Amino acid sequence: MTKLKFSNKMEYVDSKKQEFSYSEVQMITNNFERVVGKGGFGTVYYGCIGETQVAVKMLSHSSTQGVQQFQTEANILTRVHHRCFTPLIGYCNEGTRTALIYEYMTNGDLAEKLSGQSQTFLGWEQRFQIALDSAIGLEYLHNGCKPPIIHRDVKTRNILLDENLRAKISDFGLSRIFSDDGDTHVSTAIAGTPGYLDPEYNTTNRLNEKSDVYSFGIVLLEIITGRTVILKTQVRTHIIKWVSSMLADDGEIDGVVDTRLQGEYDSEAARKVIDVAMACVAPSSVNRPTMNQVVMELKQCFPVGKLGTTSTGSSEIVSAGE
């Protein structure tokens, strides 16, 4: 059993992943030639290990918040494994040079695919396979992990797509692990992305799994409408308000569903999915469904065999609170 230790925090993470030296990371990334992403933690580079394409997330030690998020992600992804999460291949921990190495997702993120700026257009069934994959991943965090984990930053940018356009949840840097399996919430400083942030959590500082449900509801509305969370009109309008006003006008969904689909969707299924999304974004958390209920509702929207099947989990987190 390998131990991953962060040099400045003396924190250990159990890991069966492969450890790479910094010189190997340089070779993997062709001396950090291609940048594919940036964040508070540092920079992400494209690379290859043999025939496997990888993304190498290099930690910048200049950001205290980045270090903490990096450690959180390492703690979770070296212990929790699921086909709906971005696979962690290995790591580098050499002095102050720290990196996490992931399988590269060739189709980028969901936000890009929905933006209209991508060469790949997502059809109706592809969109809801992505929605179902994402819901199953979140359901596993909430119910398959002991103690449960709250992602805390669910958004279209953090849903990556593999070569088959199957969804992988990424970026666990803000995630919180419940200290005890019986806890109902965690009191914590507000963190997340504006527009996706649960308003109840934002006012009470009390985080629970329903905060992820709210954020997932926003993602579902983006998938359905093809619009961003904040609509860039003359008046910046939140997607919930826009959908609510469209439904209030005549109750029809044609004006809500992405017009680029050109009517190529199942109206009955679309109505059900919109209902699920609006239930997820209920202002009060007690009125929101659980992710388990969301998964069941989404599965009922499509005929058996129409969408791919995804396992509900492959392993449990062990001693996550350590």
Q: Alpha helix locations (H) across 95-198?
A: 110-115, 124-139
Q: How is residue 105 annotated by DSSP?
A: -
Give the tokens for residue 135. Answer: 């819901």
Q: Is the link from the previous residue into 289 a cis peptide, with omega within 30 of 0?
A: no
**What are the CA-CA distances from residue 117 to residues 70, 110, 131, 226, 239 (Å)?**
30, 11, 20, 12, 20
Closest CA to 223 of 127, 155, 118: 127
Give me the phi and psi of 27, to 5 degrees please.
-70, -40
Q: Alpha helix locations (H) across the chain?
A: 22-28, 64-77, 110-115, 124-139, 199-204, 209-225, 239-250, 267-280, 291-300
Query: How many Cβ atoms are within 10 Å of 234's Cβ, its own excluded?
Result: 6
Can you tell me which residue has the tokens 């419940």? Answer: 178
Q: How many residues does the chain have?
A: 322
Can you tell me which residue has the tokens 């025939």? Answer: 51
- CA angle in degrees (0–180, nearest 5) for 187-58-107: 90
Catalytic residue among 14, 109, 133, 153: 153
Residue 168 assigned ligand-binding role: no
Q: Is 153 a catalytic residue?
A: yes
How would you class 312 by CB atoms within 10 Å of its CB: exposed for 0-12, middle for 13-18, buried for 19 or more?
middle
Q: Which residues are annotated as a binding site for ATP?
A: 57
Catalytic residue annotation? 153
Q: Which residues are annotated as a binding site?
A: 57
